Chains A and B, each alone.
Chain A
Amino acid sequence: DIQMTQYPSSLSASIGDRVTITCRASQSISRSLNWYHQKPGKAPELLIYAASSLQSGVPSRFSGSGSGTDFTLTITSLQPEDFAAYYCQQSFILPLTFGGGTKVEIK
């Protein structure tokens, strides 16, 4: 199985900050990488697919980049509704696997 490692596991940031989350795959997955966020008590929601494509309806302050084994999710100006957990997920091969998550908290 492909292991997905995210870091940091948590971070504290302020409104308006630029935030970057990293995801590393245990082997090359081309650009088969998705990002989700999840608010407490809610289901995950798709933000970015295929490494850098913005899901319909997702604000443009979210962006993704990377290929191969290293990927990043960037939030250019953190908003109150962005405080949540973020997960990467590889879609290269079954079983589909998720990273351990990054919790973004208010500083």
Chain B
Amino acid sequence: EVQVLESGGGLVQPGGSLRLSCAASGFTFNNYAMNWVRQAPGKGPEWVSGISGGGDSTYYADSVKGRFTISRDKSKNTLYLQMNTLRAEDTAVYYCAKDSGSSSFDTFDIWGQGTMVTVSS
């Protein structure tokens, strides 16, 4: 079964850091781009970041550029999101989402169950 499973969410103070992980299984991880999409309470989804299948291309939403870093470990079939200098507006459920292609970022065909990140003092 194709699936992705996030972990690493929690409560963090403003200005703090957190690293999210996403374990992938059931598909050839290196063949697909991967994304992080977040959803604040009561709001629609927001694309945060994407990384190509080979890991050589990364992209970010302006709202997180310079603060978040996406990466992937081929040997562990795992996607990461390092989040630094967190703000209250980063509070959301963070989803790991598999892309339908290798180097393009367009369609999220598999989603994880999400991990909640709360930024509050």
Partner-B contacts on A (CB < 8 A): 32, 34, 36, 42-46, 49-50, 55, 87, 89, 91, 94-101
Pick from B61, B95, B107: contact of A43, CB below 8 A. Answer: B95
> Given contacts A43-B112, A43-B113, A43-B114, is CB(A91)–CB(B107) below 8 Å?
yes
> Given contacts A94-B59, A98-B45, A101-B44, is CB(A34)–CB(B114) below 8 Å?
no
Pick from A42, A50, A91, A98: contact of B46, CB below 8 A. Answer: A98
Partner-A contacts on B (CB < 8 A): 35, 44-47, 50, 59, 61-62, 95, 100, 105-109, 111-114
Are B45 and A44 interface neighbours, CB within 8 A? Answer: yes
Other contacts beyond A43-B112, A44-B45, A95-B62: 14, CB < 8 A = A34-B107, A36-B45, A44-B111, A46-B108, A46-B109, A91-B107, A94-B59, A94-B105, A96-B47, A96-B50, A96-B105, A96-B106, A97-B47, A100-B44
Main secondary structure on A side of the interface with B? loop
Are A95 and B106 interface neighbours, CB within 8 A? Answer: no
Q: What's the minimum C-beta distance from B20 to chain A, rounded to whole angstroms?
A: 15
Are A91 and B95 interface neighbours, CB within 8 A? Answer: no
Count A-B pairs with CB separation below 8 Å.
Answer: 52
Are B107 and A87 interface neighbours, CB within 8 A? Answer: no
Q: Which residues of A contact B106 (CB under 8 A)?
A: 32, 34, 91, 96
3 smallest beta-carbon distances between A and B, as pairs: A91-B106, A43-B111, A96-B47
Q: Which residues of B contact A42 (CB under 8 A)?
A: 113
Q: Which residues of A contact B50 (CB under 8 A)?
A: 94, 96
Which B-chain residue is minimally distant from A43 (CB atoms)?
B111
Q: What's the minimum C-beta distance from A51 to chain B, rounded to whole angstroms?
A: 11
Q: Which residues of B contact A94 (CB under 8 A)?
A: 50, 59, 105
The answer for the CA separation of A43 and B116 in the assembled complex, in Å, is 12
Q: What's the minimum C-beta distance from B43 to chain A, rounded to whole angstroms?
A: 8
Pick from A45, A46, A99: contact of B107, CB below 8 A. Answer: A46
Q: Which residues of A contact B105 (CB under 8 A)?
A: 91, 94, 96
The answer for the CA separation of A5 and B62 in the assembled complex, in Å, is 20
